[in-house]
Structure formats: C-alpha cells, structure tokens
Chain A
C-alpha cells in the first residue's frame, strides 16, 4: 500500500491517491493535496465543498456525486467545475481525504 506525507504526517493512500483511512485526514493536509491537484489556493467556496464532502461521507459512507453536490452543497455544478476543474466529485473527495465516490451502478 503506497503511503505519502501530508503536513508532516505519513498517511496511507491507494494507487489513485485517495485516503485509505479518512480519519487520518486533517484540515492542515488539504492545501498540500490541493496543490498536487493543481489548485494553488483553497478559497472559501473550496472549503465549503470540502466540509460538505466530509459531512456527507460521515453520514452516508460515500461521497456525493457531482449532481447531488450541485443540488445540496449550495454550489452549482458549473461553479463546482470552476473550483475543481478535473471533476468536482473526485478532486474534492481526494482533497477531503475520503474514498473515491462510489458513483453509481
């Protein structure tokens, strides 16, 4: 299992870079993960989405899809793509330290 270091702490991630254990994540790690994803600075709307992803994961055991994010996070799908250009659900999940959203079947 690959591991990497964020904010001075070693954490386990999978091959795609998603956290194996979301409880290892801290807010201090997010800016560094974001930079690796090409986001230089996390703004207030970024944090709104990240915190929403954490809360959804805690409640439902999986991160929301882009469509559900657009309906429930208070940020529209278009804005979500401006914030997280490589795909909001996946990018935000990675920065928020939760597994890749299961999406659908």
Chain B
C-alpha cells in the first residue's frame, strides 16, 4: 500500500457500520489502514426486537447494547453528530467542528422516521391514540396503550414505502390478533391493515399468501390508501384522494428518509436522503471512494438487517479492491431473508433477491426451513437469531449454512400459483 496509512471512515455504528468495521479490521493491519466509526449516540438497537415490545414479549433493555462494545479493538469509535460530507474534498465535517479526511467513506447511517412529513401525525392524539412501534420510545408507549385497550377499532397503517422491514407491520397485525385472543377481548377488537400497496406485500406470490393470512386471522385489508393526514383527535386516517378510515387506536409506520446530514451534503444522496449506489458493487454512482451499506443505500431491495448482512461481504471486498486499484466485485444479488412472525408460536420465512420473488419451498435447500408457510421451526429460527446477531453477525462472522448469495436450490419455481 505504498507506506502511507490509509483511512476508512464509516458513518453509522448500527448493523452495517459495525459488521463492516469488524470485517475490515480483520483484513487490514492497523499500520496499513486506520478505521474510524462515527455515530451520534452509543445505543445499538436490535431493531427486530421492537416488534415484540408492544406485546410484552421483549423489554426495551433487552434489545439495546453499547455500539462501542460491538466494535473490535483497533477501530476508533467517535461519538459525535455528523454535520456534512464534502464529497469532492473527501472530508467529513463533524458537529464539534472537527474534520475527518478519508480515503474511503462507508455510509451506514440507516434510515430515520420523518413523522413531520405527514400532516397531523404528531399533532393532537400523538402518543395517546396514535403510536408507532418503529422506535424505542414508541414501542414502549404502545405497550402501555395495548395493555389499557379494552376494545374498538385498531388500525395499522403504512404511510408510504420504502420502510424498514416491510413485513413488520403485517407481523404486528398477526401478533395483535394473538394478543387480544390471549387477553380475551378479540371479539371486541376490529383490526384493519391500511396500506398504500395494492395487496398485503410488494411481491405477488408472497402477497397472495400474506393477504390470505390476514383474512384467516380476521384482519380487514384496505389497499392503495395514500395517507395524506392523520386526524388523531377525530380518530381518522384521511387519504389524499379523500377516503377515510376511522380508529380508536392507530399504529402508524411513518415515512422514512436517510439521515439528515445526507441532505446537507451536496452530491451524496437522492431526494429522500438515501445514497444511490450500484446495486451489485455498492459503490456510489457519483463518487468512486464512497460506498453505502444497509438501509442508507438506495438499492431496489428491502431495507432489512438480513440484506445488510449479505451486503457486508461484497462491501468489504470492494473497499479492499478499491484501495488496491483492482476492478470491483459486482456480485451482490439483493438477497433478503425474513422471518415473519404470525402469532401462536409460529412464523413463516421468505427468501428472495433482485430477480427472484419470495417462493414456496425450503431454505437453504430442499431439507431446511419451510418457505412461505407457517411453522413452529421458523418461529424458533426467529428467536434464535437474536443471540446470533450480537455474537456472530456483528463481529462479522459467517453464519453456518447462510451464504450471501440467494440459494436457488429448494425453491419451488414450478408450483407457483
């Protein structure tokens, strides 16, 4: 590397930033490459756990750990907000006035909730009868609200895509059905799922299965509803085309955007604050020494931890190749793998990529977990994942039997209805 120490700056110490930093630390010596991770706080949230908090199945303490402690020794962690990135000057400006030059920048600051972009969402009734479970405070407050709920209309609303984990709002519906049966008031609760999509999910085969599951669990479905306003006081969701859905309790998934500093950094992000990168190499379209991973990346696949995990391998290889002046590896295939909790100790599993939608069959091969079908085994898989997240995924180890590329074996491509 020609003697001079290079510097890799990673913005964000969440899933992608942490596993990226740890994998990079393993392949580069400290003399050759300095690695710095920047984040504004030290709270690493296991985000899949947020779904369970409202139902008393997880407590917020159990899903938050120190960011710093997930990052290897030999990686510098700086806790400070990011002001902006000077892409032409390869420099990050930090909120404390200091600057951080880089040879390679990895954007891993995920997505943020932009609640204020929806009229009325945080107005009267917010955190009283309008909640979200997409952040820690919201999930905890919703737990109290569900405990106090004694019947009426509960609506679950996705304002617009893209959102993190597009299956989570559906899982919320399934768990709500289970929860109200457990407390004995299911007959007094009217559950409705309100979505901007034309079905329960974005991909046709899985959408059909999930729409069927909603029906089976007595959850009404309202489609192509683009929420323009949330009237918390009046208990109404109002769409841009003038339709209304009434509620006594609303669980809203707000609009998502990239981290605020992205918009302040000319040439870095798109109109929503995500960083446009090549979907196969994860390199910025505009600036060759910038890469993005995870929710922060503007690529056409789900914003999900599994995607971030699968991107890790290509990201690290391409940072290495970029620094060595070698052609990049264009092998990321958009692989996503999501357990969908369906209540009563069961879950289903979906596995897909840029080109292949979620199909029935088994994962990772014909002997394995059932795909697109409820089973107890998938629920156990979902539970088992949390310790693996902290102890294998974040340290950047490969998970046994789980490759970065989507396995085609085991998928039932003929039986698609």
In the assembled complex, the Cα of A81 lies from the Cα of B240 at a distance in Å of 6
With an 8 A cutoff between CB atoms, is B161 at the interface? yes
Given contacts A67-B255, A77-B228, A105-B202, contact A87 B241 (CB under 8 A): yes
With an 8 A cutoff between CB atoms, is A28 at the interface? no
In the assembled complex, the Cα of A37 lies from the Cα of B197 at a distance in Å of 20
Binding site for B on A (CB under 8 A): 65-68, 71-72, 77-78, 80-81, 85-87, 102-105
30 A-B pairs within 8 Å (CB atoms) are namely A66-B160, A66-B226, A66-B240, A67-B160, A67-B255, A67-B272, A68-B272, A71-B272, A77-B228, A77-B240, A78-B228, A78-B240, A80-B240, A81-B228, A81-B240, A81-B241, A86-B241, A87-B226, A87-B241, A103-B161, A103-B197, A103-B202, A104-B162, A104-B202, A105-B161, A105-B162, A105-B166, A105-B202, A105-B203, A105-B302
Write out, one digit per residue, whether chain B residues 221-240 have a CB within 8 A of any chain A CB (1) or not (0).
Answer: 00010101000000000001
Write out, one digit per residue, whether chain B residues 262-277 have a CB within 8 A of any chain A CB (1) or not (0).
Answer: 0000000001100000
Task: From the candidates B160, B203, B241, name the one contacting A65 in the complex (CB within 8 A).
Answer: B160
In the assembled complex, the Cα of A77 lies from the Cα of B241 at a distance in Å of 11
With an 8 A cutoff between CB atoms, is B327 at the interface? no
CB-defined contacts of A86 to chain B, threshold 8 Å: 241
Q: Are A71 and B160 in contact (CB under 8 A)?
A: no
Describe B's contact surface by its main secondary structure: loop
In the assembled complex, the Cα of A59 lies from the Cα of B371 at a distance in Å of 37
Distance to closest chain B CB from A38 (angstroms) = 13
Residue of B nearest to A71 (CB): B271
With an 8 A cutoff between CB atoms, is B289 at the interface? no
In the assembled complex, the Cα of A24 lies from the Cα of B89 at a distance in Å of 44
In the assembled complex, the Cα of A68 lies from the Cα of B272 at a distance in Å of 7
Q: Are B300 and A102 in contact (CB under 8 A)?
A: yes
CB-defined contacts of B166 to chain A, threshold 8 Å: 104-105
Q: Are A65 and B271 in contact (CB under 8 A)?
A: no
Residue of A nearest to B226 (CB): A66
- Using A66-B226, A72-B271, A103-B161 as known contacts, list a sample of 11 further A-B pairs with CB atoms less than 8 Å apart, ordered by residue number in A: A66-B160, A66-B240, A68-B272, A71-B272, A78-B228, A81-B228, A87-B224, A87-B226, A104-B162, A105-B162, A105-B166
CB-defined contacts of B300 to chain A, threshold 8 Å: 102, 105
